[in-house]
Structure 1
Amino acid sequence: MSHSPQMKRAAAVAAAAATVLALTVPAAQAARPEPTLRSESPRDLEIGSAVWGQNELLGYDRKHPNEFQKILGDEFGSLTPENDMKWAEIHPEPDVYDFSGADAVMAFARANGQEVRGHTLLWHSQNPAWVTEAAGTWTCDEARDVLEDHVRTVVGRYAGEVYEWDVINEVVQDDWDAGGVRLRTEANPFLKACADDPVGLLGDVFRWAHEADPDALLFMNDYNAEGINAKTDAYYALAKQLLADGAPLQGFGAQSHLSLQYGFDDSMQANFERFADLGLKVAVTEADVRMPLGDDGEPTAEQVALQADRYGRLLDACLAVSACTSFTVWGFDDERSWVPGVFPEGYATIMTGDFEKKPAYDVLLAGLRDATPGRSPRTPPGLNR
């Protein structure tokens, strides 16, 4: 009998909320390791988390990890440097690179047998002062030289160790921005300098990254990019243009920063499928589900259940498309979540600040387990198993 993903999520939430009675089990059975997201994920899908290496992984001791580090290693097969590879951190001065945070992420990944997603090479935000101050003064040739040196230096340093790169990040405006949906030729200093041919510059960024590491999969990445809308239409057109120009674009990533104040876009699977039809890989790259909280700072039971459902629907859309290579949460615990510092919302991750697993975690675990009947590729959600 076939069961819908929604029914399975509801069952997982109910099971997580129920009281578990203590049972006597044989010692061998009791000794079995507890299942993790990593252990239950299909072999053709990386389950990952963002981590700020500079804050959490410097001085990591493999024999004596702290609780956060142990969970990070046990639960996830992929890591994304949350900030360590952004320009402000890794390239703080024109002739200065600081690889300490990124190196810490790479070292942790090697020690724990994990993959790494690189993030990010071209973005209009979190740039150092020397870049933002140059906006509007660079010629296109000057901007290209700076950008090419950065891309080749950073990608080259980690060649062979990063399996996917967010090469271009948030290069398309939203419909509520001035000028509507179009390339960010005002906010992005490099696109601004090369506004006469911004697509040509984007194509070269992919070429430089590919030449620095031919084995890494190269992605475009953005928020509000889950379903079919004006923004993803623009990305779809950009992807076709870049591919027609011979650029080594290989993937499309939907960040998936969701809020319970808005609905869920049911066209996410269809959106992933149309990019896959172009020959691209797709990925959920930065998933979290935030919500407004009451005066006590706590969510309601209804919010907790709805959050679990949203996480499950994100995973279902990925599992249903064989081209979806990775599913990454943007941090796994509320203590380190970026959300409260930016939005009047919270409770966005799959664990509390003291690492208590939420129903959202249980739904992801159940979805991964259900998609992994001991073989690869995965079984899409909703099919008999």
Structure 2
Amino acid sequence: MPRNRLGLAGALAAVLIAAGIATGTPAQAHEEPRTQAHERPATLAQLAERHGRYFGSATDNPELTDTAYTKILGREFDMITPGNGMKWYATEPRQGVFDWTNGDQIVNLAHANHQRVRAHTLVWHSQLPDWLTSGTWTADELRAVLKKHITTEVRHYRGKVYSWDVVNEAFNEDGTYRDTIWYRTLGPGYIADALRWAHQADPHAKLYLNDYNIEATGPKSDAYYALAKQLKAQHVPLDGIGLQAHLALQYGYPTTLEDNLRRFSRLGLDTALTEVDVRMQLPATDAKLTEQATWYRDLTGACLAVRGCVGVTIWDYTDRYSWIPAVFPGEGAALPWDEQLNTKPAYHALREALR
């Protein structure tokens, strides 16, 4: 999960996007369905709800002063993810000193708009405070630090959030464990521990593992499949797998996405597309925007085709606040709304998929 352009940009400049092939063009738009109450077109959330799915957006605290932006955010979506406000550097900037300001602001806004919250994220190797990364920890010490952080944060938001991305980006591209402070000091068992502690703190929240480049079948998604199977066999409380779906036109569409969603579903797990954007090399052309729209339509269709796929979240909805340009220079135009908050072909393709 990337840092927003208004967050701490740059950590994921090494992200590689899974390869595949996309074909086809967006279907032609039909007359918009109307809601009876206001005779306005149904929102993305309302269209998704007809399929028993949600349609969400990430957001971040700095842009919440933009009233034109928040009006669309509050109207079109029924699930919100805080881009940065619940990460460790924001919530425990000093050891044992917790700050809920940013997370609470987004949770309160979501609840005011009758939206649910995908809480993000408890255990990650990035955006950690200096006191944690510069410390020298024994396994017992770090385990206690991790347990306290998870327990305190999850308890604070108990009953207020739909789900947690408990562990984020735990594997390398080849399917080996990522060399993080958690893995180095605690070994692979930190993942099961984190899930157990989160469940104890809020038994009703859905608990996810979340990562990028696991949309297609391959070594990295295979590692998650094997881990999920192991955790389920051990009765560890794991509810779902989040596939971030940060895609790029130049690397091809992950054509095995639907099959991949289905195999996780067969384990009894929910799946979700959690951080979707489809970037391109600039300038954006009509041809690129048309291909991008096809990808948005196809990935949404893949989720709708698999019963266990519960919803789609785009990583903020507008190019105005996208993380992409700061991390991938010369790339962008990744979202369904442009920088002026006008809808792009991708938006209409999403509507078509959800119809």
Tell me the TM-score normalized by structure 1: 0.82
Residue identity (%)? 45
Equivalent residue number for residue 117 of structure 1:
118
**Matches of 1:192 and 1:31 in 2, distance apart?**
56
1:47 equivalent in alignment to 2:63:
no
1:286 equivalent in alignment to 2:275:
yes
Task: State which of 186, 189, 194 in structure 1 corresponds to 2:186.
Answer: 194
Equivalent residue number for residue 362 of structure 1:
348
1:353 equivalent in alignment to 2:339:
yes
Equivalent residue number for residue 155 of structure 2:
156
**Matches of 1:224 and 1:327 in 2, distance apart?**
16
1:233 equivalent in alignment to 2:222:
yes
1:257 equivalent in alignment to 2:243:
no
CA distance change for structure 1 residues 214 and 31 in 2, over 3 Å: closer, same or farther? closer
1:151-208 C-alpha deviation (Å, 9 max, x unpaired)? 1111111111111111110000113xxxxx3111x2x21221113xx1x221110011
**Matches of 1:57 and 1:160 in 2, distance apart?**
23
CA deviation after TM superposition for structure 1 residue 367, in Å: 1.3
1:276 equivalent in alignment to 2:265:
yes
Instruction: Give matches, 1:4-23, under 5 Å.
Output: 9-12=26-29
1:50 is matched by which residue type in structure 2?
A
1:266 equivalent in alignment to 2:255:
yes
CA contact (8 A) 2:296 2:346 kept: yes
CA distance change for structure 1 residues 11 and 358 in 2, over 3 Å: closer, same or farther? same
CA deviation after TM superposition for structure 1 residue 31, in Å: 5.9
1:218-248 C-alpha deviation (Å, 9 max, x unpaired)? 1111000101101011111111111122210
CA contact (8 A) 1:228 1:267 kept: yes
1:259 is matched by which residue type in structure 2?
A
CA deviation after TM superposition for structure 1 residue 8, in Å: 8.1
CA deviation after TM superposition for structure 1 residue 366, in Å: 1.7
Equivalent residue number for residue 293 of structure 2:
308
CA deviation after TM superposition for structure 1 residue 288, in Å: 0.1
Instruction: Give matches, 1:93-108, under 5 Å.
Output: 93-108=94-109
**Matches of 1:317 and 1:261 in 2, distance apart?**
21
Task: State which of 272, 276, 284 in structure 2 corresponds to 1:299.
Answer: 284
2:137 is matched by which residue type in structure 1?
W
Equivalent residue number for residue 17 of structure 2:
none
CA deviation after TM superposition for structure 1 residue 10, in Å: 2.9
1:72 is matched by which residue type in structure 2?
L
CA contact (8 A) 1:57 1:104 kept: no
**Matches of 1:264 and 1:45 in 2, distance apart?**
22
1:238 is matched by which residue type in structure 2?
L
Tell me the TM-score normalized by structure 2: 0.89
1:211 equivalent in alignment to 2:210:
no
Equivalent residue number for residue 331 of structure 1:
316
CA deviation after TM superposition for structure 1 residue 42, in Å: 2.4
**Matches of 2:217 and 2:291 in 1, distance apart?**
22
**Matches of 1:49 and 1:167 in 2, distance apart?**
19
Equivalent residue number for residue 177 of structure 2:
183
CA contact (8 A) 1:254 1:286 kept: yes
Aligned partner of residue 80 in structure 1, secondary structure: strand
**Matches of 1:95 and 1:220 in 2, distance apart?**
25
CA contact (8 A) 2:26 2:294 kept: yes
CA distance change for structure 1 residues 8 and 310 in 2, over 3 Å: closer, same or farther? closer
Equivalent residue number for residue 341 of structure 1:
326
Aligned partner of residue 10 in structure 1, secondary structure: coil
CA distance change for structure 1 residues 243 and 305 in 2, over 3 Å: closer, same or farther? same
**Matches of 1:245 and 1:140 in 2, distance apart?**
22
**Matches of 2:211 and 2:36 in 1, distance apart?**
44
CA deviation after TM superposition for structure 1 residue 213, in Å: 0.8
**Matches of 2:348 and 2:69 in 1, distance apart?**
18
2:173 is matched by which residue type in structure 1?
D
CA deviation after TM superposition for structure 1 residue 354, in Å: 1.0
CA deviation after TM superposition for structure 1 residue 80, in Å: 0.2
Equivalent residue number for residue 303 of structure 2:
318
**Matches of 1:239 and 1:262 in 2, distance apart?**
27
**Runs of 4+ off more than 4 Å:** 5-8, 28-31
RMSD across aligned positions (CA): 2.0
**Matches of 1:161 and 1:36 in 2, distance apart?**
24
1:317-369 C-alpha deviation (Å, 9 max, x unpaired)? 1110111112000001111000001002110111011100000011101211x
Computing the radius of gyration from Cα coordinates, the structure with the larger value is: 1
Aligned partner of residue 118 in structure 2, secondary structure: strand
Q: How many residues are paired up?
A: 329
1:221 equivalent in alignment to 2:210:
yes
2:131 is matched by which residue type in structure 1?
W
Of structures 1 and 2, the one scoring higher in RCO (CA 8 A, sep 6+) is 2
**Matches of 1:284 and 1:278 in 2, distance apart?**
17
CA deviation after TM superposition for structure 1 residue 263, in Å: 0.9
